[in-house]
Amino acid sequence: MQNAEESIRIERAVKSQAPLILNFIRQLAEYERLLDKVEADVGRIEATLFGEKPAAEVVIAYLGQEAAGFALFFSTYSTFLARPGIYLEDLFVESKFRGKGVGKALLVHLAKLTRERGGGRLEWSVLDWNEPAIEFYKRLGATAQDAWTMYRVTGENLQKLAETL
């Protein structure tokens, strides 16, 4: 049982935490073997997450007084449900805090937030090789959406598409 000093709390991130958020992003990218794909920097995080029109929201999980992990998410909309939802872009818990309920606390927080906002779905993606995460999500009642294939357009292809008449 955790004592009061080790209790988990979730707080909305603030602009001054942009370096912490970048650190979590880099650790996640390293875990996912995608560190070479990270272009984010503190300035871009400050502008896109804490500027005039934030593109997403971030919450930080603390175990005791230490920042243990984060979740970055944004609003979605389901036409079939005619309800909003939340898409979890990234969830990361530092390795020394794994197995202590931090990841579950972040997902519970997002589930509550989804419901408070009248949402019908909390969704996310997971790399197909990440068995520990897949098993964790299944234990929480999540189901894989195997009938759907995600597509992405980035970089030069995004530029070409945007310039298509």
Low-confidence ranges of the chain (pLDDT < 70): 1-5
pLDDT score, position 69: 98
Q: Model's pTM, two decimal places? A: 0.92
Q: Which of 31, 62, 87, 137 is catalytic?
A: 137
- Indicate if the alpha-carbon torsion angle 154, 89, 87, 57 is positive or negative: negative
Question: What CATH number should be reported for the domain holding residue 12?
Answer: 3.40.630.30
Kind and range of the H or E element at 63?
strand 57-63
CA-to-CA separations, 66 to 13, 23, 52, 95, in angstroms, rounded: 14, 14, 29, 13
pLDDT score, position 1: 42
Range of the structural domain that residue 11 is part of: 4-162
Indicate if 137 belongs to the active site. yes
* Number of domains composing the chain: 1
